[in-house]
Amino acid sequence: MKKFSVVIAGGGSTFTPGIVMMMLDNMERFPIGELVLYDNDEERQAQLGQALKILLKEQAPALKFSYTTDPKEAFTDKDFCMAHIRVGKYEMREKDEKIPLRHGVIGQETCGPGGIAYGMRSITGMLEIIDYMEEYSPDCWMLNYSNPASIVAEACRVLRPESKVLNICDMPVGTLRRMSQIINKQPEELEVRYFGLNHFGWWTSVKDKEGHEYIDQIKDYVSENGYLTKVEVDTQHMDQSWQDTHKKAKDLLAVNPSYLPNTYLKYYLYPDYEVANSNEKFTRANEVMDGREKEVFTAARNIIEKGTAVDSGFHIDSHASFIVDLARAIAFNTHERMLMIVENNGAIANFPDDAMVEVPCIVGNNGPEPLTQGKIPAFEHAMMFQQLTVEKLVVEAYIEGSYQKLWQALTLSKTIPSAKVAKDILDDLITANSEYWPELT
């Protein structure tokens, strides 16, 4: 079996060690001969790179491993690029969350004004690594799970329409895992039907391979508990903010009991609740910086100091195995069924063809083929079309350097109460993002 050459773009990410260890755990399914980390922050990546070099020497000595800030070195002769970049790092995420909260609006990484700000930064970074990939490895596939996925996917559709970029999100994977715990199944035993935009959709069916439907059983549980399961609380050491998010799903289901909701809908259906229960001085960004960020880099320093990764503190990110499933689908034409972010083209019959929607797809060596979901009801259609227009306006504002269109995008967002508040937030975000956004006139 061929051994593949892989570059991870965003090598300095706190998720990198867990994903590398997950790939090691799946080497029989997806053999890797070379692995390169790429990042534009040399110092940050070097800490993880040195630690992973020690770990890989012990656990996979035959694997060729390196880390670099040189695009040519990173992207030459690669089969796959796995992209999880964060332009501006957690310092800018903190601003994305705290600036809106100062105006009484939700502060969230991918939703509302924070997601729009992050999207405006991410487009530049994504285009840059796509261009590197195409220059140095024209046959390479990019598996992109960088946030905010909807805005990034729309930008790729408009600005790099022929690029071999696959957009996927781990949120549906995590929610399916919790659903499987509720009904005492394994995730791989289940097939779902789903429609929406990224972080903005609904499950319409959850069946096993024999065709037994579990959606009503799951709804009964979610109506009382949300998606929170005892297994996850006890074994995953879940942060309190995530526990609260999964519990809130019961209120989302109450609004629309026909389908099972994506948890991110809470930011659009209950924004007042989210603001009232937010701490402007300590947001999710601070929770991550005080938690996972410190844990991962402390573990890296310990490995480097000890010279061994035995009992290292790096943990396998087992739920990220969906990345290997996607790579295998492309490499071996496995026709894996996965939720992907793709151009609609009739998958949702009564929704614009050029919308980047999240639906089940069959993935083979030509990429994803979306499965049709039929027509969707008026409530979901109206919510989705409003959010889709926000995302399209953001990409148009980026391309045209248009202050007007970005103001319109913020004004149209269901998370912001008025055009005045939208303008006030926009002006603050422009100041905060002066190093990252294109100039807006």
Selected catalytic residue, list 132, 264, 268, 398:
264
Distances (CA, A) of 52 to 74, 84, 300, 312, 406: 16, 17, 8, 10, 41
**Interacting residues of 396 by C-beta distance below 8 A, sequence separation 6+:** 402, 405
How many CB atoms sit inside 10 A of residue 347's CB? Answer: 22
DSSP code, position 10: S
Alpha helix segments (H runs only) across 103-170: 112-136, 149-159
Q: Pick from 381, 110, 378: which is nearest to 263 by CA?
A: 110
CA–CA gap between residue 134 and residue 141 (Å, rounded): 9
Selected catalytic residue, list 25, 170, 208, 244:
170
344 is in an annotated binding site: no
Q: What are the DSSP E strand ranges found in 161-305?
A: 165-167, 190-197, 200-208, 260-261
Give the residues across from 203 on adjacent strands.
Answer: 194, 260
147 is in an annotated binding site: yes
For the chain, the residue count is: 441
DSSP code, position 78: -
328 is in an annotated binding site: no
169 is in an annotated binding site: yes
Distances (CA, A) of 144 to 71, 168, 326: 17, 6, 11
CA–CA gap between residue 320 and residue 235 (Å, rounded): 17
Which tokens in the block code for residue 295? Answer: 């844990």
Distances (CA, A) of 154 to 207, 356, 393, 431: 31, 6, 10, 25
Task: Please say if 170 is a catalytic residue.
Answer: yes
User: Residue holding tokens 């002006």?
Assistant: 427
Q: How many CA atoms lie within 13 A of 409 on its CB side?
A: 28
- Return binding residues for substrate: 93, 147, 284
Q: Which residues are annotated as a binding site?
A: 93, 147, 169, 199, 284
Active site residues: 170, 264
Binding residues for Mn(2+): 169, 199
